[in-house]
């Protein structure tokens, strides 16, 4: 579904990504793990069009997207939910969700999609008339996820969906991610909770200093001595 080939990205004169290549198959959960500053968010931004790669390519559903603008990439079916539960603070929950359905295809089906979001996140239905700034941090994260899903994506890229959440909410978020895969949505997941991520995902790529250090099935990576020492504290 998604293929990144020899991707290089700079911020000014500083290179952030070095020859990144990876493949994500349809209806799988693919994780990016690594320490802060490893390049995970930069890679998501390059895939979703927020950062223009210096060289290399990104293909989505067989079409090159590395030269396209973010709005076009969203319309093709790739949605990016950024870190930190970013919402339109002075709009209601319902209005925030509608903002995610701006494309013609998604707008026509927004009513049906909103009901699906309310099924995934019942608290948002209870809060649908509230301003987003009155929500808790966890509720804002759910709203950010719901708004991204309003575009009816084929692939959803999550950047730190458990950021700042209480443990019980973290479990709920990962349950939602699993349920999305069951609905046929492919997941690209960036997450600091390495153990839970590797227990949830099918395959993963480890980024270190902007380079691919390891890649493989998650059960194999969980047994890796390097992963256990560097990321699991074992």
Indicate whether 155 pLDDT > 90. Answer: yes
Q: How far apart are CA 96 and CA 87, in angstroms?
A: 7
Which of the four pLDDT bands, split at 50, 70 and 90, describes residue 14?
very high
Rounded distance between C-alpha atoms, residue 77 and residue 185, angstroms: 10
Q: Judge residue 95's burial from the number of C-beta atoms within 10 Å of its C-beta, 0-12 exposed, 13-18 middle, 19 or more buried.
A: middle
What are the CA-CA distances from residue 133 to residues 15, 86, 91, 156, 170 (Å)?
Answer: 36, 10, 8, 24, 21
Contact assessment for residue 132 and residue 89, using Cβ atoms and an 8 Å cutoff = yes
52, pLDDT greater than 80? yes
Q: CB atoms < 10 A from the CB of 223, how many?
A: 9
Q: What is the pLDDT of residue 104?
A: 85
Summarize the confidence of residues 207-222 as an average pLDDT.
Answer: 95
In sign, the C-alpha dihedral spanning 222, 181, 38, 159 is negative
For residues 190 and 31, give the distance between their C-alpha atoms in angstroms, rounded to a whole number.
Answer: 6
* Structural element, H or E, at residue 22: strand 14-24
Mean pLDDT, rounded, of the chain: 94
Q: How far apart, in whole angstroms, are the C-alpha atoms of residue 51 and residue 126?
A: 36
* Predicted confidence (pLDDT) at residue 123 exceeds the cutoff of 90: yes
Q: What is the pLDDT of residues 59-118, one digit of tens each?
A: 999 999 999 999 999 999 999 998 877 899 999 999 999 999 988 889 999 999 999 999
Sketch out the chain's domains with CATH numbers. Answer: 2-77+153-230 (3.40.50.300), 88-152 (no CATH)
Is 0.75 surpassed by the pTM of this model?
yes
- Cα 108 from Cα 24, distance rounded (Å): 29
User: What was the pLDDT predicted at 135?
Assistant: 94
Predicted pLDDT of residue 165: 84
Per-residue pLDDT tens for 162-205? Answer: 887 888 889 889 999 999 999 999 999 999 899 999 999 999 99
How far is the C-alpha of 36 from the C-alpha of 233, rounded, in Å? Answer: 16
- Contact (Cβ atoms closer than 8 angstroms) between residue 220 and residue 27: no
Q: Quote the pLDDT of residue 28.
A: 96
Alpha-carbon distance values, 53 to 10, 38, 42, 44, 212 (Å): 7, 16, 10, 11, 16
What contacts 47, CB < 8 A, 6 or more positions away? 2, 4, 58, 65, 78, 80, 157, 188
Instruction: Report whether 80 contacts 157 (CB < 8 A).
Output: yes
The pLDDT assigned to 234 comes to: 64
Instruction: Please report the pLDDT score of residue 83 as a whole number.
Output: 85
> Which two structure tokens, joined as six digits, stand for 158?
């999550």
Percent of residues, the chain, with pLDDT higher than 90: 86
User: Distance between CA atoms of 11 and 21, rounded to whole angstroms?
Assistant: 19
């Amino acid at each position: 579904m998604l293929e990144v080939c020899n991707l290089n990205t700079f911020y000014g004169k500083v290179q952030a990504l070095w020859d990144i290549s990876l493949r994500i198959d349809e209806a799988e959960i693919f994780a990016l793990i690594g320490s802060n500053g490893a390049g995970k968010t930069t890679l998501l931004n390059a895939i979703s069009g927020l950062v223009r790669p210096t060289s290399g390519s990104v293909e989505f559903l067989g079409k090159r997207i590395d030269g396209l603008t973010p709005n076009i990439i969203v319309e093709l079916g790739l949605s990016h939910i950024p870190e930190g539960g970013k919402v339109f603070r002075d709009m209601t929950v319902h209005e925030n969700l509608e903002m995610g359905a701006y494309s013609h295809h998604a707008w026509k089906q927004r009513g049906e999609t909103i009901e699906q979001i309310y099924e995934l996140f019942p608290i948002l239905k209870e809060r649908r008339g509230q301003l987003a700034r009155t929500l808790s941090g966890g509720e804002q994260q759910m709203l950010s996820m719901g708004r991204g899903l309003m575009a009816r994506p084929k692939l959803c890229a999550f950047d730190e969906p458990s950021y700042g959440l209480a443990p019980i909410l973290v479990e709920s978020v990962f349950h939602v991610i699993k349920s999305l895969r069951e609905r046929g949505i492919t997941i690209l997941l960036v997450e600091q909770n390495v153990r839970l991520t590797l227990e949830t995902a099918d395959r993963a790529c480890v980024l270190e200093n902007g380079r691919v250090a390891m890649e493989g099935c998650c059960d194999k990576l969980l047994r890796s001595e390097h992963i256990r020492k560097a990321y699991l504290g074992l």
